[in-house]
Structure 1
Amino acid sequence: MKFDLTDDQRDLAAALEGLLAASDTVAVARAWADDDTAPGLALWKRLSDLGVTMLATEAGAVEVCVAFEALGRHAVPGPWVESAAYLPVALGREVEGIATLALPPHVPYALDADVADEVYVGSTPGASVGARHTSVDRTRRLFSVEGTEASTDEVHGEAFELAVLATAAQLLGAGERVLADSVDYVKARKQFGRQIGSYQAIKHALADVKIALDFARPLVYGAALGEVPAGAAKIAAGDAAYLASRTGLQVHGAIGYTAEFDLSLWITKIRALLSAWGTPAHHRSRLLEELSR
């Protein structure tokens, strides 16, 4: 499938890349994980002013994918899928400020509910924010929402599909970042007098990641055009990003396992996003049902 962005979509991608590259998003993410949300909220405002939160209602799914790929590439924290994908479609309007939601069983906890202006269960306002829960990704600050029960009947189908697609785009961007950082590392790291990137085994492993990401990209944007189920895009992007994270750990060696090394931000985010907005098993089951009809 051949897909080219329009000039306006390329301009959006360039504007987001320029803003995020200049925003020290690593420091923002680390501060967010330590409950210092001020830098992240300031970045949220700049991205909102750029129009990210209105893309779902004022633009389209392709623009949403462009934005979320950039958010994933730069490990931007915050309830972006909730505020800029699911809720604008479910509510029929742009979300003002920051909003988050729980949507059991696929979204059991509300992301960053303590900083949200609005907290929902599905599209129903939540009564109160409850206990905090731990995620493998320290930038994902999860909270129970008490007082309202959601059921699968409350799921807004179109909104859910866009949220799944936005998560897939985040995974794609995160996987691309891990691959880029891994390539830079193997070019710089020397062992036995040679760049480790000169070894065929490492070249082949990184090439496999590149191929997986290149195959996932058409599915993500094909889903944005309505030609591919969003679940298929998330499965492909998740598999590719997970392969990128495993390979990135292998080529970085022991340093890749340390929380102090920036690679950890993307590896833990990828792991958390794999099950966000529906596990791979859930989406594979849905695809099987559609193919069996």
Structure 2
Amino acid sequence: MQFAFTEDQLAITQAAREMLVETCQPADLRRMLAAQAARDAARWQTIVDMGLLGLLAPDEAAGMGLAPVDLVGIAEAAGYVGLPEPLVETAGIGVPLLAALGDASRLAAAIAGESVAIGYPGRRFVADADTAGTLLLADGDALHLVDAKDVGLTRQESIDPFRRLFRVDWTPTEATRQTIGWGDTADRGAVMTAAQLIGIGQRAIDLAVAYAKERNQFGKPIGSYQAIKHLIATAQVAVEFARPVVYAAAAELPLDSVASRARISHAKIVAGEAADLATRTAVQVHGAMGITWEIDVHFFLKRALALRADWGTTAFHTARVLERIMTLPTGPDLTFSSDVARAA
């Protein structure tokens, strides 16, 4: 199988990436942090105007009717810039779930910029609940759709200052309970989180490279020393090896098989490992300055630490990979075969 993005997919991703890089620089993040702002209103409106929130919504709901693989590059770009706004969670998880529920009015509101917060089973706190119009919450394994006005929120501390977490107090009722379950929500969350982790890792490497070119010791840039080169190269290799796994997981997500779920878990594991290595390497390359908050790498280090534990622990995802290994054929032609994913 030859896997490559189409020209349309690349064009959408490139347009979104350019917008995010232009509007979400570390200086913008520092301004938001100083103002304790939940989001940048102008940037969020641009996201809405570009139609990014409706990429995975069906055509009949004024969406673009695309697949998760069409969003994965945008999720990676969101990670690359450390985007505070809930673009990925709303577009990649909330909108498809509202479409599955058949709630046309709420779906239209989400596409128009009213973000969706997800309280999936096992997620102790809900991200961005304070700016959401609709909350999709769990009572046991049951899915409930709840208005923002009907919940109480208590802010919780996060290692990532831009990850706004809340304990949500609410009362489940028959009126809020939905007839369908969570479906593939957990897998969508894992794939989109893995994509963000890849972006985070790449940004950390880029920051390390830029610093290594500028910082001089003993009369020459520290990037000219093999020790620094090897550190950064090792981190870049980890990101490059993880990236195609994440892309393949996004492409196979709709298959909903033992093999495709294992691919998703594999992606979440290796993306988390790559981001962890890249961000820690970037801190090390910056030397003593690297442990100070004034260095931009910390935005990405803290986001990586937060996301690596979200949408399934490493232990959970490792168990799913082991299940695939123990129950399906393996070998050079089978372990990573999409045909196995379709058949299993």
Following superposition of structure 1 onto structure 2, how do residues 245-256 of structure 1 map, counting pairs within 5 Å? 245-256=279-290
Larger radius of gyration: 2
Change (3 A) 1:234 1:134: same
Q: What amino acid is the match of 1:165? A: V
Match of 1:86 in 2: 93
Q: What amino acid is the match of 2:66? A: A
Change (3 A) 1:256 1:3: farther
Match of 1:229 in 2: 263
Instruction: Supply the RMSD in Å over aligned alpha carbons.
Output: 2.3
Match of 1:184 in 2: 210
Match of 2:200 in 1: 174
**Residue 183 of structure 1: CA displacement?**
0.7
Q: What amino acid is the match of 1:143? A: F
Give the number of the structure with larger relative contact order, counting CA–CA contacts within 8 Å between residues 6 or more apart.
1
- Say yes or no: does 1:72 pair with 2:79: yes
Q: 1:108 aligns with which of 80, 103, 124?
A: 124
Q: 2:160 aligns with which of 128, 137, 141?
A: 137
Q: What is the alpha-carbon distance in structure 1 between the residues aligned to residue 311 and residue 181 of structure 2?
A: 12
Once the two structures are overlaid, the 10-residue window that deviates more, 178-187 or 34-43, is 34-43
**Residue 31 of structure 1: CA displacement?**
4.2
Change (3 A) 1:268 1:216: same
Question: What are the Cα deviations for residues 170-208 of structure 1, in whole angstroms up to 9, with x where unaligned?
Answer: 000110011011111111111111211111111111111
Match of 2:144 in 1: 124
Question: Are the counterparts in 2 of residues 31 and 39 from structure 1 also a CA contact under 8 Å?
Answer: no
Match of 2:331 in 1: none
Q: What is the alpha-carbon distance in structure 2 between the residues aligned to residue 66 and residue 223 of structure 1?
A: 12
- Say yes or no: does 1:99 pair with 2:133: no
Match of 1:11 in 2: 11
TM-score, length-normalised on structure 2? 0.78
Match of 2:335 in 1: none
**Residue 82 of structure 1: CA displacement?**
2.7
Q: What amino acid is the match of 1:101? A: I
Structure 1 unpaired stretches of 5+? none
Q: What amino acid is the match of 1:256? A: G
Once the two structures are overlaid, the 10-residue window that deviates more, 90-99 or 59-68, is 90-99
Match of 2:341 in 1: none
SS of residue paired to 2:121: coil
Q: What is the alpha-carbon distance in structure 2 between the residues aligned to residue 269 and residue 168 of structure 1?
A: 12
Once the two structures are overlaid, the 10-residue window that deviates more, 31-40 or 96-105, is 31-40
- Say yes or no: does 1:276 pair with 2:283: no
How many correspondences in the alignment?
A: 290
Match of 2:42 in 1: 42
- Say yes or no: does 1:260 pair with 2:294: yes
Match of 2:255 in 1: none
Structure 2 unpaired stretches of 5+? 58-64, 100-106, 173-178, 253-259, 328-344
* Structure 1 outlier segments of 4+, above 4 Å: none
Question: Are the counterparts in 1 of residues 24 and 83 from structure 2 also a CA contact under 8 Å?
Answer: no
Q: What is the alpha-carbon distance in structure 1 between the residues aligned to residue 8 and residue 250 of structure 2?
A: 16
Q: 2:191 aligns with which of 165, 169, 179?
A: 165
Q: What is the alpha-carbon distance in structure 2 between the residues aligned to residue 225 and residue 271 of structure 1?
A: 26
TM-score, length-normalised on structure 1? 0.91
SS of residue paired to 2:55: helix
Once the two structures are overlaid, the 10-residue window that deviates more, 189-198 or 52-61, is 52-61
Question: Are the counterparts in 2 of residues 129 and 143 from structure 1 also a CA contact under 8 Å?
Answer: no
Question: What are the Cα deviations for residues 51-104 of structure 1, in whole angstroms up to 9, with x where unaligned?
Answer: 221122321111110110110011111233431112222221563411112123
